[in-house]
Amino acid sequence: MYIYRARVFDTPTNPFTGGQLRSETDIALVVDDGKIIARTDIGTATTAHPDAEVIDLRDGILIPGLIDTHVHYPQIRAIGHLGKPLLEWLNECALPEEEKLVDDAYARNVADEFLTGLIGSGTTSAMVFGAHFASAVDILFARAAELGLRMTTGLVTSDRNLPEPLLTTVDRSLSESQQLIDRWHGQSRLRYAVTPRFSLSAGPELLAAGGQLVRDNPGISVTSHLNENHDEIAGVAQVHPQAQDYLDTYDKAGLLDRNTILAHNVHPNDRELARMAETGAAAAHCPTSNSALASGFFPLRRHIEAGVKVALGTDVGAGNGFSMFKEGVQAYFMQQLDPNGGQPLTSAHLLHLATKAGAQALDLDDKVGDLSEGKRFDAVLVRPTTGQPLDVGITNAADDEDALAKLFAMGTPADIAGVWIDGQPVK
Ligand code: GUN
Ligand code: ZN
């Protein structure tokens, strides 16, 4: 048993609906077998648990483990490309790299690099966009299980409009996906997600096969892309002439429910927003990717007004890194700049989007997302180097919300001094 004595920031209540930042300067979290069994003052904690080891973290700020709801495993080596819109970037940058994961040795190296990047940035739970090759996905599951990451991922499927090595068939996608589900879903902290790449590269039969997997395997998730770019949306309409809009391609296939996360949704219509709210499907907002590919301004206010769940994703490798702090501050920038009038965001909104909202999107909020009694101890200690700008900013902050704003503005993976998943230190 451990008692973590710390300055703790989290957002158990939703700032978009009247909640606010919960900040404590000196609080004790009593953790037994990975679970927070008490959240109290240090005197009460040590009296109740005299044998527990006290770990003093008050030289930093402890926040809930960060939750990345959209990040591509095979794209770590594609991060940082400049100057192309989505379809050009896919063809010239991302897809040639993704083809290389046909080689298991290559995939093993990429899986290690990817998981190092993710955990090193303080991400403790993630919806990971997998690879087009079943053995590369198996390698990722195995490595994530060893490291203890709370990860949902799956085999990416496509049957058209991509380079031939990345294509599959309905039958092959069903059998390979089912094998991965049987092997990994529910093991360790792992879950499976049916993952059609997007409706531009998946016809109605392949999407319907994904719906079949969801019906056959209750509790598995779904992830894909939605309404990212105007050329992409026009292409989807050609592949799916019977669908009323992009979202409807997934809906017709039985892929929409509360375990569905759809990345981007920069250009939704009102019907799509209403239907996402009705089904419980979440949007993964990926602001550095939307900026890098010039996809557009994410209509956050319309999502919130429609009642759609929204969380943050890095979208590595179109997004330019694993840092959820960077995504948070980029979300803020883009809402500030949106010519249609963005949603004003405080630092409490940013923390909520990067933690609790992600837990809700991943249907993990009974376990993680904040540091309340009863939750698992998934946590990140931010402790900047003394004298560096982030340290100066936090030391001189006007109040806790201001300190949190500085954390999002200046925090980097180098400032992350500790990461725990289920009470286990992983960094
Ligand atoms: N749409 C289909 N595939 C991708 C991808 O890899 N990245 C992004 N940003 N959008 C996509
Ligand atoms: Zn993506």
* Complete DSSP assignment for 227-266: S--HHHHHHHHHH-TTSSSHHHHHHHTT--STTEEEEE-S
- The alpha carbon of 313 and the centre of ligand 2 are apart by a number of angstroms equal to 9
Q: Is 94 in the pocket of ligand 1 (CB under 6 A)?
A: yes
Q: 84, 91, 114, 228: which to mutate for ligand 1, most atoms within 8 A of CB?
A: 228
Whether 225 lines ligand 1, by a CB cut-off of 6 Å, is: yes
d(CA 187, CA 390): 39
Distance (Å) from CA 362 to ligand 2 centroid: 16
Q: Give the bridge partners for 6, in sequence order.
A: 27
Residue carrying the six token digits 């991965």: 180
Interval 17-67: pLDDT, tens: 999 999 999 999 999 999 999 999 999 999 999 999 999 999 999 999 999
Q: Whole-model pTM?
A: 0.98
pLDDT score at 15: 98
Q: pLDDT per residue over 201-229, tens digit each?
A: 999 999 999 999 999 999 999 999 999 99
Q: Is the CB of 197 under 6 A from ligand 1?
A: yes
Q: Which residues are placed with Cβ below 5 angstroms of ligand 2, an ion?
A: 263, 315
Residues 274-330 pLDDT 10s: 999 999 999 999 999 999 999 999 999 999 999 999 999 999 999 999 999 999 999
CA of 247 to the centre of ligand 1 (A): 16
Residue 363 clears pLDDT 90, i.e. is over it:
yes
Domain boundaries, the chain: 2-64+370-425, 66-361
Q: How far is the CA of 206 from the centre of ligand 1 (A)?
A: 18
pLDDT digits (tens, 9 = 90+) for 104-146: 999 999 999 999 999 999 999 999 999 999 999 999 999 999 9
> What is the pLDDT at residue 230?
98
* CATH hierarchy code of domain 66-361: 3.20.20.140
- Answer yes or no: is the C-beta of 315 below 6 A from any ligand 1 atom: yes
pLDDT given for residue 427 in this prediction:
87
Q: Residue 228: CB within 6 Å of ligand 1?
A: yes
Tens-place pLDDT, residues 333-360: 999 999 999 999 999 999 999 999 999 9
DSSP strand pairing (379-382 vs 416-421): antiparallel
Report how far residue 301's alpha carbon sits from residue 343's, in angstroms, rounded to the nearest whole number. Answer: 5
Distance 225 CA to ligand 1 centre (A): 7
Alpha helices in 295-397, H assignment, sequence order: 300-306, 324-337, 347-354, 356-361, 389-395
Atom of ligand 1 nearest to the CA of 94: 6
- Report the SS3 class of residue 3: strand
The predicted-structure confidence for 138-184, as pLDDT tens digits, reads as follows: 999 999 999 999 999 999 999 999 999 999 999 999 999 999 999 99
For residue 72, which atom of ligand 1 is closest to its CA? 6
Cα 291 to middle of ligand 1, angstroms: 14
CATH for 2-64+370-425 is: 2.30.40.10
Which residue's CA is the nearest one to ligand 1's atom 5?
90
Contacts of 111 by beta carbon, 8 Å cutoff, 6+ apart: 73, 136, 139, 140, 143
